[in-house]
Structure 1
Amino acid sequence: MFGELLKRLTATDPTRLPDPDARLALAALLVRIARSDGSYDADEVAHIDRVLAERNGIGPFEAAKLRAEAEALEAEAPDTVRFTRAIKEAVPYEDRASVIEALWSVVLADGVRDHEEDAMLRLTANLLGINDRDSALARQRVEARG
């Protein structure tokens, strides 16, 4: 099912992903961050669904379906370096900055700021071209929203 997308993600020179593929790749990145601490709980799943619904202007059932597809893709996806490189090519910088906010919101969804999630998010932000300062500001905005 994800063969063509995985092929593009693993290419040495990934081409720009079409919108539906980029949307799925970003959803898989949210799942990857949530799973990075070895715990993927209902709060994180529900939060990912809300983020996907808001970012994509879709309803809860479509968001849950997208997340389920993203979970399967994330399980099969190559390393985060190639994965984020492909996303970086497909998503404009302004949107990548908002992706970091979405990632922080997933990290903080379960009320526990785990070291593994912090490390994965720091790596991901860097790979997406977002510096530590901007990532920290994104985290602070998410924390302020509660």
Structure 2
Amino acid sequence: MPYWLMKSEPDELSILDLQRLGRARWDGVRNYQARNFLRSMQIGDLFFFYHSSCPQPGIAGIGRIASAVYPDPTALDAESPYFDAKASAAHNPWSALDVEFVEVFPELIPLARLRGEAALAELALVQRGSRLSVMPVSPEQWTAILRLR
């Protein structure tokens, strides 16, 4: 089973929001490489839920992919911050999917701690300049991160 890491700003969707909702749409991905990773996901895949663009970024818990990908409706919504004027119902280049809650960690695993782990040196998240919001995580990296809980 592939593993993933997906970033969300906690004021938009946090792990606690997902816990309360049980299931939510993951949308607004506007990077082609991240979108392609999203399109590679299968129902049942697990992902680390990463809080980004906040005072303490880090891994907050685990979610599961709950649906196949579908066209991202936010690309067509002029009121959405993710609106894409070039997208149309016939040609929407962006994808979304549904995710479900699995686990919230007792404490956030901060980015600084992840960067300090030798086993995670190849993880895209800890690479300087990497800004992907969706990325693969190897089974070895997954296990190394779980040990940090």
Q: TM-score, normalised by structure 2?
A: 0.28
Q: TM-score, normalised by structure 1?
A: 0.28
Larger radius of gyration: 2
The structure whose residues are more often helix, as a share, is 1
The structure whose residues are more often strand, as a share, is 2
